[in-house]
Amino acid sequence: MFITTKGRNALKIMIDLARHEGEGYIPLGDIAERQKESLKYLETSASQLSAAGLVVSARGKSGGYKLARMAEEYTVAEILVSGEGSLAPVQCIDSGCENAGTCMTLPLFKELDEVIMNFLTSKTLKDLLK
């Protein structure tokens, strides 16, 4: 498993929004400044978070983003998946493989995938605020 900038940025946006929960819509430019990230990179991640229903967006002068739910209702896994698409340690877990029936390494990687997902699902956005 390799978490790219997309996944890390999705997590940074969500943590920042959680820290500023209750302040209304937060402009992405403010998040970019606080996180010392490129606004352009964050725009892609924010769009993915919005498409996944994890954030609510509003346009205009007082627009921006805010969490769609309470921070404790988000798992780190769902946030990362919104940016990455998959967290599987090897591609064949998601796409299948013609050698799956005889592959001697597949059981190991399936078990690793389960451990990774159990860990990331056990952590909430609220946990990351501590």
Q: Is the pLDDT of residue 30 over 90?
A: yes
* Mean pLDDT, rounded, of the chain: 93
Question: Residue 31: which residues within 8 A CB-CB, separation 6 or more?
Answer: 12, 13, 16, 17, 37, 42, 65
Domain count of the fold of the chain: 1
At residue 96 the predicted structure's pLDDT band, cuts being 50, 70 and 90, is confident
**Domain range spanning residue 96?**
5-128
pLDDT tens for 68-89 read 999 999 999 999 999 998 898 8
Q: What is the predicted pLDDT for the residue at 59?
A: 92
The enclosing domain of 82 has a CATH number of 1.10.10.10
**pTM reported for the whole predicted model:** 0.89
- Strands 55-58 and 64-67, by their bridges, are antiparallel
Q: Is the pLDDT of residue 99 over 90?
A: no
